[in-house]
Structure 1
Amino acid sequence: MSASIPVIDLGPWLSGDPDARARTAAAVDAALSRAGFLLITGHGVGAAERERVRAAARAFFALPTEAKQRYSVGVGGRGWLAKGAEANGYSEGTPTPPDLKESWTVGADQPTGDAEIDAFWFQPNHWPQAEVPQLRTEAEDYLGRMRTVADEVLRLLAAALGQDPGFFTDHTGHPTYTLNINWYPGTGVVGEPVPGQFRIGPHTDFGTVTLLDRQQGKGGLQVYVAPEDGGDGWQDAPWEPDALTVNIGDLMARWTGGRWKSGRHRVLPPSPDAPEEDLMSLVYFYECDPHTQVTPVGGPTGGPTAYRTVDSSAYLRAKLDAITVK
């Protein structure tokens, strides 16, 4: 296992033992200071639950294109995102061809009563009830499970940052969040990659924490770990079958004043050694309440970067606009 990206068991944290909780928090602080990534076990979400979501999503992705197009949306919408709609490298200024994936996207849909907020951040989810009715059941169950895990991770992160338990979760009373079910088919579906093309181009995530359940493959996840942080640049991400991959996004990095790194990553294109490799990732992006004012932590627990306070909604919306293929 990579020294920069450890596997951390949540069991000791959840045990309530103060010493065990302190050791876990210290390990999290060290990992997020290096690469912005770690793996967690002991999260309580079983493999069978995750595979049921995948099976339902595969049934949808296997539909004819004309059937999927009835649910077609743009970046930030709820439904089917076709191949070629996103280029995630744009968000960091890296000019890449469009990403080689399809996605089914759902998210927070309980309105706040504020029309301006609800129109974008709490859009109703749309479901292919006629074609794949089980997708709604499995995805909604998974969304609930991931929110519980995400809030516990945020409490752990608060301890790792030397803050009160509710430092982050005080801002997740009515949060925005999204589940992207990303399908990465082989070249028989997406065609041969052109130079510089990825399943997902290099980028950092935009929110607070991302919880990823992924499948191992040759055209899989890579994480950038700088030499000064003990890495050699791009490296294959470690994988454990029972673990969730956790990385922090831009808002969390800003909140810590740069103490923790927003984990830069990419997903490789289909490998010449396995051109028909077919992978699927369940990517849960957790954010915070709309229009949260993200102000960097000062003092001894914060980082060295002079970030300014940002409005979470304005920041996230600008990043989504940036990755949209025009």
Structure 2
Amino acid sequence: MIPTVDLRHADAAAVDEALQRAGFLLVTGHGVDDVLRADVRAAARRFFALPVEVKQRYAVRIGGRGWLAPGVEANGNADAFGTGAGNVEGGDNPPDLKESFAVGPDTPTGDPAVDAVWFPANVWPDEVPELRPAVERYLGAMTAVSRDLLELCAGALGLPPDSLTALAGHPTWTFNINRYPPLTEVGEPAPGQFRIGPHTDFGTVTVLDREPGAGGLQVDVADSGWADAPYDPAAFTVNIGDLLEHWTGRRWRSGRHRVLPPQPDSPHEELVSLVFFFELDHDAVVTPLAPPIGRRADLAPVVSAPFLRGRLDAISVG
């Protein structure tokens, strides 16, 4: 269903098949130190443990840099986009049962209008000074892994290695640290409420370092429906997003997924996920690959920034 591939010598046919069926891979051979991953998670937990009134000093809305409080995001509301991933929910969904800390690229373009939206300054909590250096080291690793993944994807499509990274010279991206509180903290979920509602991601590749749990990640697989995502502590869980699905002429399936609500049989379960969403240059023009690589010949080119902006607006609550 979802294969494990080694980033150093992956089988192109296996990658192609997996991204057609579910849009997901488990990826080893990434070279990211386990200690670094643990350091980021530990520092994040210290931030999330701060009193609400302290975290509120760093509060932002979706697309900002800082603390995303519980209740500001409903990912299921973006599930109405016709990406070809089998999206059916959409509409007015309950907010996701999570809080997050968001970081983005500190590489402004010099255009104030662009930078205000895609390259705003990062915000770092004074109360947890160790968070910034740990995250910045991790982000260097994630950027390198994401570029390697785009080269892997190009190879799986039979294209030259730099075919996809050519549009990521000055990319936008977002790093979210998600905390999924326990049932004892949030109470019984509302009908249709998840830790993260059913959705697809918006960009090219998402690199996820996650913790397994009863209220964990599920993936929507073609012809099979929802299934618990496989877990390997040494691997990253990787999925492609809407922008890459569009780029492949819908050959590949934007990986539709959800995170289950906290479960009654694990009322104290708290999970922290590290999620890196890689995109392209804000002004990159993405022209879908034509058949026989692509599956559709009627898809128009899109510009990265407005393509992503519409989806980010859809998941914002209030």
TM-score, scaled relative to structure 1: 0.93
Question: Corresponding residue for 1:90?
Answer: 77
Aligned Cα root-mean-square deviation (Å): 1.0
Q: What residue number does 1:146 align with?
A: 142
Q: Is the 8 A contact 2:290 2:297 kept in 1?
A: no
- Partner residue of 2:295? 303
Cα distance in 1, alignment partners of residues 35 and 187 from structure 2: 31
Which residue is equivalent to 1:294? 286
Deviation of the 1:191 alpha carbon? 2.1
Corresponding residue for 2:261? 269
Counterpart secondary structure, 2:292:
helix
1:129-208 to 2 correspondence within 5 Å?
Answer: 129=126, 131-208=127-204
State the secondary structure of the residue aligned to 1:287: strand
1:160-201 Cα offsets, whole Å, 9 max, x none, are 111111111111111001100000010222222111100000
Matched letter for residue 46 of structure 2: A
1:127 paired to 2:152: no
Give the Å deviation of 1:305: 6.0
Offset at residue 103 of structure 1 (A) = 0.1
Partner of 1:212: 208
Displacement of 1:304: 2.8
1:30 lines up with 2:17 in the alignment? yes
Residue number in structure 2 paired with 1:19: none
In structure 2, what is the Cα distance between the partners aligned to 1:214 and 1:167? Answer: 29
Instruction: Name stretches of at least 5 consecutive residues in structure 2 with no aligned partner.
Output: 81-89
Task: Find 1:111's aligned residue among 104, 108, 113.
Answer: 108
In 2, are the aligned partners of 1:161 and 1:302 still within 8 Å (CA)?
A: no
Matches of 2:145 and 2:222, distance apart in 1 = 29
One-letter code of the match for 1:258? Answer: R
User: Is 1:278 matched up with 2:298?
Assistant: no
CA shift, 1:112, in A, is 0.9
Separation in 2 of the partners of 1:265 and 1:314? 23
Task: Look up the SS of the partner of 1:285 in the other structure.
Answer: strand
Moved more, 55-64 or 183-192: 183-192
Question: Which amino acid is the alignment partner of residue 172 of structure 2?
Answer: T
Specify whether residues 91 and 12 from structure 1 end up closer, same or farther in structure 2 by C-alpha distance, changes over 3 A only: same
The answer on 1:52 being equivalent to 2:39 is: yes
- Describe the SS at the equivalent of 2:134: helix
Contact 1:104 1:181 in 2 (8 A): yes
* Aligned counterparts of 2:29 and 2:137: Cα–Cα separation in 1: 19
Identity %: 60
1:100 aligns with 2:116: no
Distance across 1 between alignment mates of 2:63 and 2:213? 27
Structure 2: how far apart are the matches of 1:252 and 1:305? 16
Shift of 1:114: 1.5
Distance 2:171 2:281 in 1: 4
Q: Shift in Å at residue 254 of structure 1? A: 0.1
Residue in 1 aligned with 2:221? 225
Q: What residue in structure 2 maps to residue 21 of structure 1?
A: none
Matches of 1:55 and 1:207, distance apart in 2? 27
Residue 100 of structure 1 contacts residue 269 of structure 1 at CA under 8 Å; is this kept in 2?
Answer: yes
Q: Which runs of 5+ in 1 are unaligned?
A: 14-23
Give the stretch that moved more between structures: 98-107 or 85-94.
Answer: 85-94
Corresponding residue of 1:20: none
How many residue pairs were aligned? 308
- Once the two structures are TM-superposed, the CA of residue 76 in structure 1 deviates from its matched residue by 0.6
Give me the whole-angstrom Cα distance separating, in 2, the residues matched to 1:213 and 1:178: 14
> Runs of 4+ in structure 1 displaced over 3 angstroms?
none
TM-score w.r.t. the length of structure 2 is 0.95
Counterpart residue type for residue 132 of structure 1: V
Q: Quote the offset at 1:11 in angstroms.
A: 3.0
Q: Following TM superposition, by how much is the alpha carbon of 1:299 offset from its aligned partner in structure 2, in angstroms? A: 3.2
Amino acid at match of 1:190: V
Kindly indicate whether the alpha-carbon contact (under 8 Å) linking 2:183 and 2:263 is maintained by their aligned counterparts in 1.
Answer: no
Query: What amino acid sits opposite 1:100 in the alignment?
Result: L
Counterpart-to-counterpart distance in 1, 2:240 and 2:255: 6
Q: Which amino acid aligns with 1:30?
A: E
